[in-house]
Amino acid sequence: MHEMSLCEGIRRVVDQAADRPDVTRVTRVRLEIGKFAGVEKNALSFAWEVVMRGSKAEGAALEMIDLPGRALCYDCMKEVEIAERLSPCPDCGGGKLLPQGGDEMQIKDMEVV
Ligand SMILES: [Zn+2]
């Protein structure tokens, strides 16, 4: 399950960020997930609970924020949002789109106490 290794990567970042004497516990982590990142959210929530055990983020809420897929359209030269990776341009109907993102996953911010 690749969500497990994703969470391990997140744990490393969170651990590092929370490694300060004034941080007792991480209560919430906001994660931005691109529409095309291929992340299975249920699996990610499950992996989250397992992977965070024993860290300062044990029991922290995981908030997942969807990022839209974006692409540059070569027909109208606009940056547009697309629903599917192979969708035509929603503006002009053109099919020559260069994806500009949507497959990223990153921590937006986190709350600590
Ligand atoms: Zn277009």
Q: What is the pLDDT of residues 28-53, one digit of tens each?
A: 999 999 998 999 999 999 999 999 99
- Asked whether residue 89 is marked as a ligand-binding residue, the answer is yes
Q: Model confidence at 92, in pLDDT bands (50, 70, 90)?
A: very high
102 or 73, greater pLDDT: 73
- Number of structural domains found in the chain: 1
Q: Residue 8 and residue 35: Cα distance in Å, rounded?
A: 21
CA of 77 relative to ligand 1 center, distance in Å: 6
Range of the domain at 75: 2-112
* Cα atoms in the Cβ-side hemisphere of radius 13 Å centred on 5: 2
CATH number of the domain where residue 25 is located: 3.30.2320.80
Report residue 64: phi and psi, to 5°.
-105, 125
- Asked whether residue 7 is marked as a ligand-binding residue, the answer is no
- Asked whether residue 73 is marked as a ligand-binding residue, the answer is yes
Q: Is the pLDDT of residue 112 over 70?
A: yes
Q: Is the pLDDT of residue 1 over 70?
A: no
Q: Residue 64 and residue 66: Cα distance in Å, rounded?
A: 6
